[in-house]
């Protein structure tokens, strides 16, 4: 039960709230003093994650405007912990009353019931809801702005939906223009045509009362060489540690990742060369990380996102009954998740991955 919702060595991010509690939010401890936060830019970033924006996403409407109750004076950090609070308003807890004791397959309902002995907030997934990525994005959005001032840029795109693949970032030459262009799209793919096919795939699943998953690819450019630490505190360790905090993430790979296992060393190694006295590499299979430390090449990683477990179809489950003590019994049950759900969470995971990367990288630089 330790540090469950806290991340970071230098910047500490403490996330609180449940899907249907009074509010959700985040405390950020360790942001340097004297930094101007562009609240409007932050809000634009949060919009990318917010629900209710399109037919492809949940119809829950949240204003998703954080109130900074501490740490900011006239938009400038004062060195004290930042706390942002975001009220939950469009809550329909009654959707969850009837399924209180029937865990939704693919969700954390059952594991949370066991862990918290039935005391967990089951409404909308409680503390384990995807809604908790909103405070992650508040923290990440702030880190993104600070990194930008240091010449570091982060961008992600939808690399795959249900097997339909977008183009990939160029591993060596991915540049600021590319990252900016894809981020400003409503449906962030490099190739718009592929994006349209993906949208059709998502709508088709939606029409079937079903859902699909996909892969998000992320690039970080401008990172100096030598960040990160050996063994347990390498760049991969830290990014993986925070990225698995995004619900529905099932895998992560750096550089050419799992595909590297198909290459021989001679093909997988990235040759070094000198250009005007500086060190560069001819290829970037290593994804900008060697021995847990950044190489100065673009940092690249990919994240697997499973299909949304909430689907409209009937599913087999159980009805849990507390036995009065610490245990419980279970009977056969069927469940149909009504509520308002995303047929595909991948587009909304894109900014979350950027946020997570930003927090991890800024944490290493301070």
Q: By CB under 8 A, tell whether 311 contacts a second copy.
A: yes
What is the pattern of x (binds a second copy, CB under 8 A) and - over residues 313-352?
A: x-xxxx-x--------xxxx--------------------
Q: Does 56 bind a second copy (CB under 8 A)?
A: no
Q: Is 181 in the site for a second copy (CB under 8 A)?
A: no
* Residue 237 lies near a second copy (rule: CB under 8 A): yes
**Three-state secondary structure call for residue 209:** coil
Tokens of 197: 């096919």
- Among 63, 89, 117, 196, the residue binding a second copy under the rule CB under 8 A is 117
Check residue 137 for interaction with a second copy (CB under 8 A).
no
The contacts of residue 119 (CB under 8 Å, 6+ apart) are none
The reply to whether 184 sits near a second copy by the rule CB under 8 A is no
Q: Does 95 contact a second copy by CB under 8 A?
A: no
- E-strand stretches of 59-193: 67-70, 72-73, 76-77, 82-87, 153-161, 164-165
Q: Name the minimum Å distance from CB 308 to a second copy.
A: 6
Least gap, CB of 4 to a second copy (angstroms): 4
Consecutive H or E run containing 39? helix 39-49
| Interacting residue with a second copy among 51, 66, 124, 126 (CB under 8 A) | 126
From candidates 45, 68, 96, 169, binder to a second copy by CB under 8 A: 68
Q: Is 250 in the site for a second copy (CB under 8 A)?
A: yes
Among residues 37, 7, 15, the alpha carbon closest in space to that of 135 is found at 15
By CB under 8 A, tell whether 124 contacts a second copy.
Answer: no
The residues, any chain, with a CB within 8 Å of residue 354's CB and separated by 6 or more, are 140, 144, 154, 155, 156, 183, 218
d(CA 366, CA 269): 31
Q: Which is nearer to a second copy, 83 or 174 (CB)?
A: 83
Cα separation values, 279 from 1, 20, 273, 282, Å: 45, 52, 6, 10
Q: Is position 222 an interface residue for a second copy (rule: CB under 8 A)? A: no
Instruction: Find the shortest distance in angstroms from Cβ 184 to a second copy.
Output: 25
**CA 204 from centre of chain:** 25
358 binds a second copy (CB under 8 A): no
Total residues in contact with a second copy, by rule CB under 8 A: 150
């Amino acid at each position: 039960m330790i540090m469950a919702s806290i991340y970071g060595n230098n910047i500490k991010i403490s996330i609180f709230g449940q899907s249907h509690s009074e509010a959700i939010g985040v405390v950020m401890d360790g942001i340097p003093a004297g930094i101007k936060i562009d609240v409007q830019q932050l809000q634009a970033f949060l919009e990318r994650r917010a629900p209710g924006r399109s037919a492809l996403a949940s119809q829950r409407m949240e204003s998703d405007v954080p109130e900074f109750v501490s740490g900011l004076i006239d938009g400038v950090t004062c060195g004290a912990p930042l706390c942002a609070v975001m009220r939950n308003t469009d809550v329909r807890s009654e959707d969850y009353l009837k399924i209180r004791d029937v865990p939704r397959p693919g969700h954390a309902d059952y594991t949370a019931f066991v862990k918290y002995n039935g005391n967990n907030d089951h409404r909308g997934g409680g503390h384990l809801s995807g809604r908790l990525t909103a405070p992650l994005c508040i923290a990440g959005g702030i880190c993104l702005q600070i990194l930008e001032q240091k010449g570091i840029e982060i961008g992600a795109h939808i690399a795959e939906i249900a097997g339909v693949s977008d183009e990939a970032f160029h591993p060596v030459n991915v540049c600021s223009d590319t990252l900016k262009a894809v981020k400003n799209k409503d449906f962030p793919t490099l190739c718009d045509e592929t994006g349209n096919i993906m949208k059709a795939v998502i709508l088709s699943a939606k029409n079937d009362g079903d859902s699909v998953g996909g892969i998000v690819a992320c690039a970080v450019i401008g990172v100096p060489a030598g960040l990160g630490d050996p063994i347990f505190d390498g760049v991969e360790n830290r990014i993986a540690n925070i990225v698995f905090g995004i619900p529905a993430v099932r895998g992560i790979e750096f550089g050419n990742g799992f595909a590297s296992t198909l290459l021989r060393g001679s093909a997988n190694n990235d040759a070094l060369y000198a250009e005007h006295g500086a060190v560069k590499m001819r290829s970037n299979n290593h994804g900008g990380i060697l021995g847990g430390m950044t190489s100065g090449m673009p940092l690249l990683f990919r994240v697997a996102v499973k299909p949304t477990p909430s689907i409209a179809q009937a599913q087999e489950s159980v009805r849990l009954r507390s036995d009065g003590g610490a245990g419980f019994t279970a009977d056969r049950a069927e469940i149909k998740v009504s509520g308002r759900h995303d047929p595909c969470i991948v587009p909304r995971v894109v900014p979350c991955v950027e946020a997570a990367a930003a927090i991890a990288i800024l944490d290493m630089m301070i």
